[in-house]
Amino acid sequence: MRTRPIVAIDGPAGAGKSTVARRLADALGFVLVDTGAMYRAVALAASRASIDWKDGKALAEMARGLVSRSALTFERDAELGVRVKLAGEDISEAIRTPDMAQGASTVSTHGEVRAELLELQRMAGRDGGVVLEGRDIGTVVFPDAEVKFFLTASPECRAKRRHAELVAKGTSASFEDTLADVKRRDAQDENRAVAPLRRADGAILVDSTALSFEETVAHMLADVKRAALR
């Protein structure tokens, strides 16, 4: 019996899941688990090992090795929310590029890769007091989570936010290319054969298109607190 709830946040690319999850975790005093970072890390490790992102078998073998050796680790960080390390190397910034975002989307289409990372995700959150964000938290990883959200916004809104982030980091990317990338990832996530992106049963729909970041967080925090009183 969990004494503190699991908060699951799912949603499409660019919906703001990572920043919202970080703020919620801080406000609640919970641990943050960014499952998307796991797939990004696998994509980065695969690139360095010259493994094709479309080779599910090779990717799964590599992921199995990373998990068994505890080579993929996550540490709570005040600035980033979570710091990701690969064999001791801090890759927190290296995995936050458009290329690794696309890599994560491709890598996550392989059922065998998802299976290798599933237990790692469940171990991270099974005791509760955790905020997990990704694409299939409420549908696959923790369908019994006490609080489930589906956070979304229009493709144009998500692309605008993502483009602003890229510009702030000094990355040269046009809004048109960013929007095309968002739509491409939506199609890939929604149509993959294994654990496609969808709103989990009982998940609270949060459309942040017309909401500020602060309004979105306040809305979701109130929902979590209401759930705790049931």
- Lowest pLDDT segment from 17-31, 65-79, 111-125, 150-164: 65-79
Q: Running DSSP on this structure, what letter comes out for residue 193?
A: S
Residue 8 in contact with residue 148, Cβ under 8 Å? yes
Share of the chain above pLDDT 90, in %: 68
Mean pLDDT of 143-159: 97
Number of domains in the chain: 1
Instruction: Compare 88 and 83 and report the one with higher pLDDT.
Output: 88
Mean pLDDT of 18-38: 91
pLDDT band of residue 80 (cuts 50, 70, 90) is: low
* CATH code of the domain containing 119: 3.40.50.300
43 is a domain residue: yes
50 is a domain residue: yes
Integer Cα distance of 23 and 61 in angstroms: 34
**Domain containing 50: what range?**
6-228
Closest CA to 59 of 117, 114, 113: 113
11 is a domain residue: yes
Integer Cα distance of 169 and 164 in angstroms: 9
pLDDT band of residue 230 (cuts 50, 70, 90) is: low
Q: How distant is the alpha carbon of residue 151 from its chain centre? A: 12
19 is a domain residue: yes
Is the pLDDT at 79 greater than 80, yes or no? no
Q: Running DSSP on this structure, what letter comes out for residue 80?
A: T
For the stretch 189-226, pLDDT in tens is 899 888 889 999 999 999 999 999 999 999 999 999 88
Integer Cα distance of 117 and 60 in angstroms: 9
1 is a domain residue: no
What are φ and ψ of residue 226, in 5° steps? Answer: -65, -40
With 0.85 as the threshold, say if the pTM is over it. Answer: no
71 is a domain residue: yes
What are φ and ψ of residue 90, in 5° steps? Answer: -75, 115
Q: Which of 17-26, 51-60, 192-201 has the highest mean pLDDT?
A: 51-60
Is the pLDDT at 179 greater than 70, yes or no? yes
Residue 1: per-residue pLDDT: 62
172 is a domain residue: yes
Tell me the Cα Rg of the chain. Answer: 17
157 is a domain residue: yes
For the stretch 111-141, pLDDT in tens is 999 999 998 899 888 889 999 999 999 999 9
For the stretch 93-118, pLDDT in tens is 999 888 998 999 899 999 999 999 99
Beta-bridge mates of residue 147: 7
Average pLDDT of the chain, as a whole number: 91
Is the pLDDT at 81 greater than 80, yes or no? no
